[in-house]
Amino acid sequence: MDEKVGVVGLGYVGLPVALAFAQQFADTVGFDIDDQRVGALRRGHDRTGEQDEATLRATPLRMTSDPAELRGCTFFVVAVPTPVETVAAAVLPVGEAAPAGTLLFVTGPSALLSTDSGRLRVSREEQTVVELPWQQLQGIVLLGAHHLTTPALRTALEQQVPVHFATRGGRYQGVAWSGQPGPEGPGLWLQQQACFADPVRALQAAGSVVEARLRHSREVLRQRAVDQPLDTALAGIDQLLPQVAQAADLSVLNGLEGRGARLYFEALQPLIPAEFGFQGRNRRPPRDPFNALLSLGYTILFAQVDTVVRADGLLPWTGFYHQPHGRHAVLASDLMEPFRHLVERTALAAVTRRRLKVEDFYLDAERGCLLQAEALKQYLAMLSERFDTPLLALGGEVPKPLHGHLHDQNLALLAWIRGRTPQFTAWRMR
């Protein structure tokens, strides 16, 4: 695959991302507006202390402060640094080069989006961090307090580029669009509803997300089996996996998922320090610190998934697995299943590595177990770091952060809805 990757921002987030891409793609370009930063990295010195001299001198990464060297890049990661003290620390904006165009995610500290000579310009503190032709854009997703000039908004409307707004944590707020149907036309939502209403097709898609959920749960346990005997849970999940494909209906499938979850969380119990009081999964409200971390992490993951679902044009209130209720965006509940393990890995790291202590939590009579303010910031920063770390999907060629994989999974779902592929395959690492 002839891919040219451009990583914008070589701070404590962008630098390791750029180095990881450079291992896969020799033509990777790392750009930073700070000439001194680039010069120091070229000499093998990382002021953050995250990378050693040998790594920096050996990498094929092309480090530059000249934006012209980003021309020709087919995939962008914009890693604008954020102080650790802020809630949304280290969130990566990602541009996905898809056949339908680039879906550009803008996150991190406040950025200004403007237009100049037929190109979208994203700048921060009067420095341009990325430019893209409007014709190349499929859509723009602004996560956080970013600013869009009136000329840029008008151009987006003229070019039929929807601009989606979400909070820094990923909660969807709305969209500015031209009111004209996109390239798929107004029938996409009808196609989606008809597809999901077919019990055979819905069962296949649901089976794929449940299988991904079980396999990722198993992998979390397998990686920790050196410290604890987890053979019973691993064998139990192995027995469930072939039954997923044979499930007669969604209720049977839901039962298999529930059995897998019980095996999984029972196996996690001895891995979690006893003082955290984890006795299994509980919620609404969570009654112990580890469950509080899980519930908060799942809420944030759900918001991220829902925002990308809407940005990709899918109907958020119609799903193929979970049952709809009220205005709940049920499709995000379906599509987050393969990614839940990212939250669980983060929560495990927080308690087993003593990043968080029991004293960082308190009990509220109505809302259950909650995080103290500073601990909350720290945990949110850990989640952001986890979501931003590029991962290689099963069969993939380019490691991508969470937003990139969510977008790819949506594209696979769209292809299946339109009948272009015989079945939907959920995102998997293994």
Q: What's 96's domain CATH number? A: 3.100.10.20
The residue assigned the tokens 């990923």 is 170
For residues 339 and 405, give the distance between their C-alpha atoms in angstroms, rounded to a whole number. Answer: 10
Tokens read off for 72: 């020709």
- Asked whether residue 78 falls in the same domain as residue 194, the answer is no
Tokens read off for 60: 């094929």
- Asked whether residue 194 falls in the same domain as residue 140, the answer is no
Domain assignment of residue 39, given as a range: 5-176
What is the rounded end-to-end Cα distance, in angstroms, of the chain? 21
- Asked whether residue 400 falls in the same domain as residue 267, the answer is yes
Fill in the amino acid letter for 235: A
User: In sequence order, what DSSP letters do the residues of 114-166 get, joined into one string?
Assistant: EEETTEEEEEETTEEEEEEEGGGEEEEEEESS-EE-HHHHHHHHHTT--EEEE
For residues 75 and 59, give the distance between their C-alpha atoms in angstroms, rounded to a whole number. Answer: 19
Quick check: is 372 in a domain?
yes
- Asked whether residue 122 falls in the same domain as residue 258, the answer is no
- Asked whether residue 89 falls in the same domain as residue 237, the answer is no
Tokens read off for 362: 């308190």
For residues 160 and 246, give the distance between their C-alpha atoms in angstroms, rounded to a whole number. Answer: 44
- What pLDDT is attached to residue 84? 27
The CATH number of residue 383's host domain is: 1.20.120.920
Quick check: is 428 in a domain?
no
- What pLDDT is attached to residue 199? 95
- Asked whether residue 83 falls in the same domain as residue 218, the answer is no
- What pLDDT is attached to residue 226? 64
Show the low-confidence residues of the chain (pLDDT under 70).
1-3, 12-13, 48, 79-101, 179-186, 226-228, 326
Edge-first strand listing for the sheet containing 75-78: 62-64, 29-31, 5-8, 75-78, 94-98, 101-106, 137-143, 163-166, 172-176
Edge-first strand listing for the sheet containing 119-124: 127-133, 119-124, 112-116, 147-148
* Residue where a domain terminates, one of 176, 201, 228: 176
Residues 403/304, Cβ–Cβ less than 8 Å: yes
Omega within 30 of 0 (cis) for the link into 285:
yes
Q: Distances in Å between the alpha carbon of 231 and those of 227, 237, 238?
A: 12, 10, 10
Fill in the amino acid letter for 120: L
